[in-house]
Amino acid sequence: MSNSVKAQDVYKDAGENVVFITFALKREDQAAERAAIAEFAGRLPSVLNSMRIRCPEAGLKCAFGFSRQGWDYLFPEAARPAELEDFAGMSGNGFEMPGTPADLFLHLRAGRQAVIYEIVDQLSGFVSPAADVLDETQGFRYFEGRAIIGFIDGTEAPNEEDSASYAVIGDEDAEFAGGSYAFAQKWVHDMDFWKGLATEEQERAVGRQKFSDLELDDDAKFPNAHNIAAKTETDGVEQKIVRMNVPFSDLATGETGTYFIGYSRSWLVTKEMLAQMLKLGDYLLHFSQIRTGQLFFIPSRTLLDELADPA
């Protein structure tokens, strides 16, 4: 079986309804919490399979994983994925990308919100004895698959059939082959500022035409246009990850923004993209506040089955 077959749902598929949840382990009884997470890992496949039978048209997708701190606490004697580190934050050019603590990460998407609710309701009963919810962000598919700033999202991300080589760990870290590195970041935008820009300025800021999605000539872009700042090359070859910018909005808090999720075979590629955005002062940073950020390892489905054994 290939690594791509064993992988969790780490491919390009933003979904109609989305939820991102981060958890903090209680750190009160390590053995009991490890047993609870083992049961969670064991139950997860059957819960997902049951829902896919009940509602096959929903296209349910799921990814579940661990941060460096979560992995070390739950599996202190186990080997660790080669590039799994605690994201402590990055800064540059007057901008901040904070690192925020989290131990566990869950990413669900489906065509029906009821499916998301049912999965979270069932799974929370298994994880709640061991961990508390830090953040739950409900996302949605905007018109035509656009980001909340109005531009079509993900046109430069690899297609699903090409995703494995960019998103899934291979033989370079054989013990964790089939896994993936997920970087999750929550951006809140000043939408009044953005809406106040003329369409032509927005296009120069992003680097593409707003309605046709055609890329602008380089001399028509701002020097810190998003598609320039987020582009990373090695020896002249562009490095890619599977990335999705999921819109969210909360009228009660007045916050509207983008939940960024990037799945990669190598965390170092994503990390270099973030450093490049800071170095060039990506235009999006000028009207945004980044609230959360952390790196997670998404085990293969095979390894997830092994983690279901409390021993």
Active site residues: 153
Beta bridge partners of 17: 110, 140
The residue written with tokens 């603590």 in the block is: 101
Say if residue 219 is exposed, middle or buried (CB neighbours under 10 Å; 0-12, 13-18, 19+). Answer: exposed
